Structure 1
Amino acid sequence: MPPQLRTLSSTRPATTQQLPTEPSAPPTAHSPLDARHFLFPLVETLNGRRPPRQLSGTFTPHALTTLTDATTRTQTRLGRYRLCHVSPDAAELAGTLHMPTKVRAFAARVERQGSRWHCTEFHLLP
C-alpha cells in the first residue's frame, strides 16, 4: 500500500459513530380507526337499505336517535370527508352526503371505548 493511503487509513477512527434514531412509538393493542367502518353503514341506513338498529354496536343510543331522525330513504351517496384525530382516543369526522336534490353536510365524533370505536355524536346539517 502506498504511504499516502496508509496514513489516511490510520487516521480513521476505529469505531463508527451511530446516528441518533427517532424514538419509535410504542405498539398499541388497540385497533386503528377506519372511518369507512362508520360511514358506509351510515349511508346504507340513510338510504333505507339497513335498519338503524343494526348500527347499535358502533353508534351510541344518542347518535343512533339522531341518525334515525335523519333517515331519508332516498338515494344518498357519500361525498368527501375528513377525519381528524383530536386525541389518541377521539376523532372527529366531517363531510358531505349527496342526495337527489341537495348536498348536506354531516359532523360526527368517534371515541374509543375499551378496544372498540363508537360514534358518540352525529349531526346532519340542513
Structure 2
Amino acid sequence: MSGSKEQQKAEKLVKKQRWGKIGKMLEKGDAETRLAVASELGNASDENALNYLISLLKDPDERVQVQAVKSLGTRGEERAKAFLQNMISTLPSEKVELHDTIRDSISKINVAEEANKDKV
C-alpha cells in the first residue's frame, strides 16, 4: 500500500496538520483511505492525531483497527495505554492478530514511559 494515492494524500495532510480535511477523509473515505490515514497519524505528534487514532480503534474494518493500534504504539504515549487495555479486555479471543498487536503496542508504550522516566 505504501505509495498509494490515499497514502500520499494522507501523508501530505498530516504533515500540514489539516485536521478538518483528515476528519472528512476518515468520515467519508473507504477502508483503504482510513488505513492510510491511520498509518500516517502514527508519525504525527499532535494531540489531534492521537484523538483520531483513538477513534479509529472502533473502526468497522479490523485492518484499520490493527493499524491504529500499531500507530499508537509507535507514538508511545501513555494516554493511549488505557484505551488499548480497555480494547483488549473486551475483544473476542479469536481476534488473535489484534490481541497480539495491542500487547505489542502496550509494550512499546511501557518502554517509552521508562525512557522518559530516565530523562527526568
Q: Which one has a larger percent helix, Structure 1 or Structure 2?
A: 2
Same fold (TM over 0.5): no
TM-score, with length taken from structure 2: 0.24
Q: Which has the higher strand share?
A: 1
- Over alpha carbons, which structure has the higher Rg? 1
